[in-house]
Amino acid sequence: MYSKELLKGTISVIILKLLAEHDRMYGYQITRKVIELTENKIQLREGSLYPALHRLKEENLVETETINIGKRVRRYYTLTEKGISVMKEKIAETLDFTRTIERILS
Protein backbone atom coordinates (compact mmCIF):
# COMPACT_ATOMS: atom_id res chain seq x y z
CA MET A 1 0.00 0.00 0.00
CA TYR A 2 1.58 3.24 -1.16
CA SER A 3 1.44 6.52 0.70
CA LYS A 4 -1.83 8.06 -0.34
CA GLU A 5 -0.32 11.27 -1.65
CA LEU A 6 1.52 9.37 -4.37
CA LEU A 7 -1.75 8.33 -5.90
CA LYS A 8 -2.96 11.86 -6.43
CA GLY A 9 -3.40 12.73 -10.03
CA THR A 10 -3.08 9.12 -11.18
CA ILE A 11 -6.49 7.71 -10.31
CA SER A 12 -8.24 9.39 -13.22
CA VAL A 13 -5.70 8.23 -15.79
CA ILE A 14 -5.88 4.68 -14.43
CA ILE A 15 -9.66 4.70 -14.77
CA LEU A 16 -9.50 6.08 -18.31
CA LYS A 17 -6.97 3.43 -19.32
CA LEU A 18 -9.07 0.60 -17.91
CA LEU A 19 -12.13 1.90 -19.71
CA ALA A 20 -10.15 2.01 -22.94
CA GLU A 21 -9.21 -1.62 -22.50
CA HIS A 22 -12.64 -2.92 -21.58
CA ASP A 23 -14.95 -0.61 -23.53
CA ARG A 24 -17.33 -0.60 -20.59
CA MET A 25 -16.93 -1.17 -16.88
CA TYR A 26 -18.87 -0.41 -13.73
CA GLY A 27 -17.49 1.14 -10.59
CA TYR A 28 -17.15 -1.81 -8.34
CA GLN A 29 -15.56 -3.77 -11.16
CA ILE A 30 -12.95 -1.04 -11.58
CA THR A 31 -11.95 -1.20 -7.91
CA ARG A 32 -11.54 -5.00 -8.17
CA LYS A 33 -9.55 -4.70 -11.38
CA VAL A 34 -7.14 -2.17 -9.92
CA ILE A 35 -6.55 -4.28 -6.83
CA GLU A 36 -5.99 -7.34 -9.00
CA LEU A 37 -3.68 -5.59 -11.47
CA THR A 38 -1.54 -4.06 -8.75
CA GLU A 39 -1.54 -7.08 -6.47
CA ASN A 40 -3.24 -5.07 -3.76
CA LYS A 41 -0.68 -2.27 -3.85
CA ILE A 42 -3.26 0.21 -5.02
CA GLN A 43 -6.46 -0.33 -3.09
CA LEU A 44 -8.69 2.04 -4.94
CA ARG A 45 -11.37 2.95 -2.42
CA GLU A 46 -14.99 3.50 -3.26
CA GLY A 47 -14.76 6.88 -1.55
CA SER A 48 -12.08 7.78 -4.10
CA LEU A 49 -13.49 6.03 -7.11
CA TYR A 50 -17.05 7.28 -7.23
CA PRO A 51 -16.18 10.96 -6.90
CA ALA A 52 -13.51 10.45 -9.57
CA LEU A 53 -16.04 8.85 -11.91
CA HIS A 54 -18.47 11.69 -11.29
CA ARG A 55 -15.75 14.20 -12.14
CA LEU A 56 -14.94 12.37 -15.37
CA LYS A 57 -18.59 12.46 -16.31
CA GLU A 58 -18.82 16.14 -15.44
CA GLU A 59 -15.94 16.76 -17.85
CA ASN A 60 -17.64 14.69 -20.55
CA LEU A 61 -14.82 12.17 -20.68
CA VAL A 62 -17.14 9.25 -19.94
CA GLU A 63 -20.80 8.49 -20.36
CA THR A 64 -22.97 6.15 -18.38
CA GLU A 65 -25.55 3.49 -18.94
CA THR A 66 -27.52 2.27 -15.96
CA ILE A 67 -28.88 -1.24 -15.94
CA ASN A 68 -30.69 -3.34 -13.39
CA ILE A 69 -29.25 -6.59 -12.12
CA GLY A 70 -32.29 -8.04 -10.43
CA LYS A 71 -33.26 -5.28 -8.08
CA ARG A 72 -29.79 -3.83 -7.95
CA VAL A 73 -28.45 -0.95 -10.01
CA ARG A 74 -25.25 -1.17 -11.98
CA ARG A 75 -23.81 1.83 -13.75
CA TYR A 76 -21.58 1.17 -16.73
CA TYR A 77 -19.03 3.73 -17.86
CA THR A 78 -17.68 4.14 -21.37
CA LEU A 79 -15.20 6.59 -22.84
CA THR A 80 -16.49 9.41 -25.02
CA GLU A 81 -14.58 10.68 -28.04
CA LYS A 82 -13.18 13.42 -25.88
CA GLY A 83 -12.36 10.84 -23.21
CA ILE A 84 -10.30 8.83 -25.67
CA SER A 85 -8.25 11.82 -26.66
CA VAL A 86 -7.78 13.05 -23.09
CA MET A 87 -6.84 9.53 -22.03
CA LYS A 88 -4.02 9.45 -24.58
CA GLU A 89 -2.74 12.83 -23.46
CA LYS A 90 -2.90 11.93 -19.81
CA ILE A 91 -1.13 8.62 -20.33
CA ALA A 92 1.65 10.34 -22.22
CA GLU A 93 1.97 12.99 -19.54
CA THR A 94 1.93 10.49 -16.69
CA LEU A 95 4.52 8.21 -18.30
CA ASP A 96 6.73 11.19 -19.01
CA PHE A 97 6.37 12.15 -15.38
CA THR A 98 7.16 8.69 -13.98
CA ARG A 99 10.24 8.47 -16.17
CA THR A 100 11.42 11.85 -14.99
CA ILE A 101 10.99 10.74 -11.39
CA GLU A 102 12.82 7.49 -12.05
CA ARG A 103 15.68 9.31 -13.66
CA ILE A 104 16.05 11.61 -10.67
CA LEU A 105 15.79 8.85 -8.09
CA SER A 106 17.94 6.20 -9.76
Partner DNA sequence: TTTGGATACATCATATATCTATGTATCTTT
Partner DNA sequence: AAAGATACATAGATATATGATGTATCCAAA
58 binds, among DNA, its own copies, none (CB under 5 to 8 A by kind): none
Binding-residue total with its own copies (CB under 8 A): 31
Bridge partners (DSSP) listed for residue 104: none
- Separation CA 80–CA 11 (nearest Å): 18
In the complex, least distance from residue 105 CB atom to its own copies, rounded to whole angstroms = 5
DSSP symbol at 23: S
Q: What is the largest CA-CA distance in the chain?
A: 52
Residues in 33-62 that interact with DNA by CB under 7 A: 43-48, 50-55
Near its own copies in 48-87, by CB under 8 A: none
> What residue 32 binds from its own copies, DNA, none (CB within 5 to 8 A, per partner kind)?
DNA
Other C-beta atoms lying within 10 Å of the C-beta of residue 27: 19
